[in-house]
Structure 1
Amino acid sequence: MAFSRVFPLAVLALPLLLSACIFGSGSGDKRPAPTRPRGSPPITLNRPTPRETQQCFTDLSRAGVRFSAMPDRDYGGGCIVEGAVQLIDIGVPVGGIKGMRCPLARAFTGWVQYAVAPAARQILGSDLVRVDTFGTYVCRAIVGSPQASTKLSEHGRANAVDVSGFVLKDGRRITILKDWQNPDPAIHKFLETIHGSACRRFATVLSPNYNYVHRDHFHLDMGRGPFCA
């Protein structure tokens, strides 16, 4: 996913390339706009930057986050990404992320900075040096649910991130797959603490408690909610 130039700590409130809808043919036509087929070449969308998106950019900058604003794109199949950013520096390296919608980026950086990092230091006795993910954007339906074949995943809007593990300064790597049932009380408390914090920051949080599909990651999104499992 292409992105524009890097924002410094002081946000630059410049208009971005944002989306426009494809309307029906008649002037009074209220039917939904047709969906471009999945796999269609992406098209850049154009309209003024919403005020809430500008505020989100400002919030990230005030938090000391370096990021790049991305042009809005329609990738076909209902997968439209609007108001997205590419995180460049949130204070801790993050592996696997592409662009994500700004409100998700704001919640994610807050979670890492004010929940995961302090919990690693206080509970595990070592600083957090890396967060590993399985990524953010992918144009697909929900998996592992009765709606799997029909309902678009929040990943198709770059509105979800799947977190798989954490690397500590002392060399330990805590992963959801191998450590969710770890008998070590400190590791159990760490994962329980950050899971609980995620449930207060994101609209939907899915862990291995939810189903087998989520055995190896936390799914965090800013779609409908609240829902925590």
Structure 2
Amino acid sequence: MRLAALSVVLLLASCVGGDRNERPGPIRERRSGPVTIANPTPRETQQCFGDLSRESVRFSPLPDRDFGSGCVVTGAVQLLDIGVPVTNLKSMRCPLARTFIGWIRFAVAPAAKQMLGSEVVRVESFGTYACRAIVGSPSAGNKISQHGLGNAVDIGGFVLADGRKIRVEGGWNSSDPAVRDFFRTIHKSACRRFRTTLGPDYNAAHYNHLHLDMGRGPFCA
């Protein structure tokens, strides 16, 4: 009887050890730094670069790079000037950049002027590329975020010409109906442009920003 019990204990211990070894490692960049991928630039990426140039956008094309742990950014650009300053932008895939610029110019800017009575003079971003897993969704496990592909941007708020700072945190459910309606309007517009749009109503992880990406979808929340 004791031998049987000991066998069960040893079997369970071996299973636990096996599970521990099979768990995926944390998603983080390669310590030795990114590896440049020397592939020809696809026609779709070249066309996207041309679209940005025609829209008088100043940008710098970036090399395709593999950062490790599945964080691979291809067809990316560094936006230098889109007509209004944007904080904290890193590399972003060109289709995301093109869609983002259109959203700022043809949705955010007109909505601010019409609904808030002032022009947007700065866009406050929480960033684009970040090698990490999806946050705020336990069911996603260790799945890589679209940020790890340079395919997402988080927007925290805007600075207006009259000096006001309109932020998602506090503004999404603001006591000022104009501010509330402004954020609902640009959120709705983002849902029509980006593949995925997530706001404060989605989950607690998005309480202070709008997450916009060109990954799978369409999904709007």
* RMSD after superposition: 1.5
Question: Partner residue of 2:205?
Answer: 213
Check 1:46–1:36 CA distance in 2 against 1; reply closer, same or farther (3 A cut). Answer: farther
Separation of aligned partners in 2, 1:70 and 1:210 = 32
Q: Does 1:106 align with 2:103?
A: no
Matched, 1:91 2:79: no
Deviations along 1:100-120, one digit per CA (max 9) or x if unpaired, are 000000000000000000111
Give the partner amino acid of 1:112.
I
Structure 2 residue corresponding to 1:224, chosen from 200, 216, 219: 216
Pick the aligned partner of 1:68 from 60, 63, 66: 60
Structure 1 distance, partners of 2:126, 2:181, is 23
Give the aligned partner of residue 150 of structure 1.
142
Structure 2 residue corresponding to 1:137, chosen from 91, 107, 129: 129
CA contact 1:182–1:188 (8 Å) conserved in 2:
yes
Q: Deviations over 1:19-72 (max 9, x none)?
A: xxxxxxxxxxxxxxxx99744421111111100000101111111111000011
**Hey, what does 1:191 align to over in structure 2?**
183
Q: Distance in 1 between matches of 2:140 and 2:32?
A: 21
* Counterpart residue identity of residue 100, structure 2: F
- Structure 2 counterpart of 1:51, which letter? R
**Secondary structure of 2:138's aligned partner:** coil
* Residue 201 in structure 1 maps to residue 174 in structure 2: no
Secondary structure at the residue paired with 1:123? helix
- Structure 1 position 177 matched with structure 2 position 179: no
With over 3 angstroms needed to count, the CA separation of the structure-2 counterparts of 1:61 and 1:198, relative to structure 1, is: same
Report the counterpart of residue 167 of structure 1 in structure 2: 159
For 1:72, the aligned partner's letter is D
Which range is displaced more, 216-225 or 138-147?
Answer: 138-147
Specify the alignment match of 2:71 in structure 1: 79
Give aligned pairs, total.
195
Letter in 2 for 1:158: G
Q: Which runs of 5+ in 1 are unaligned?
A: 1-34
The structure with the largest helix share of the pair is: 2
Distance in 1 (alpha carbons) for counterparts of 2:160 and 2:28 = 44
Kept in 2, the 8 Å contact 1:40–1:76? The answer is no
Q: Provide TM-score, normalisation by structure 2.
A: 0.85
Per the alignment, do residues 195 and 36 of structure 1 end up closer, same or farther by CA in structure 2, a change over 3 Å counting?
A: closer
Bigger Cα Rg = 2
Identity percentage of aligned residues: 65
Partner of 1:122: 114
Provide the rounded CA distance (Å) in 2 between the counterparts of 1:37 and 1:88: 25
Q: Deviations over 1:114-147 (max 9, x none)?
A: 0000111111000110000110011001011124
- Measured after TM superposition, the shift of residue 148 of structure 1 is 4.1
- Matches of 2:122 and 2:28, distance apart in 1: 38
Contact 2:29 2:71 (C-alpha < 8 Å) held by counterparts: no
Provide structure 2 residue ranges, at least 5 long, that are not aligned to the other structure. 1-26
Q: Distance in 1 between matches of 2:162 and 2:186?
A: 19
TM-score normalised by the chain length of structure 1 = 0.82
The answer for the alignment partner of 2:13 in structure 1 is none
Instruction: Describe the shift of the 1:93–1:142 C-alpha distance in structure 2 as closer, same or farther (beyond 3 A).
Output: same
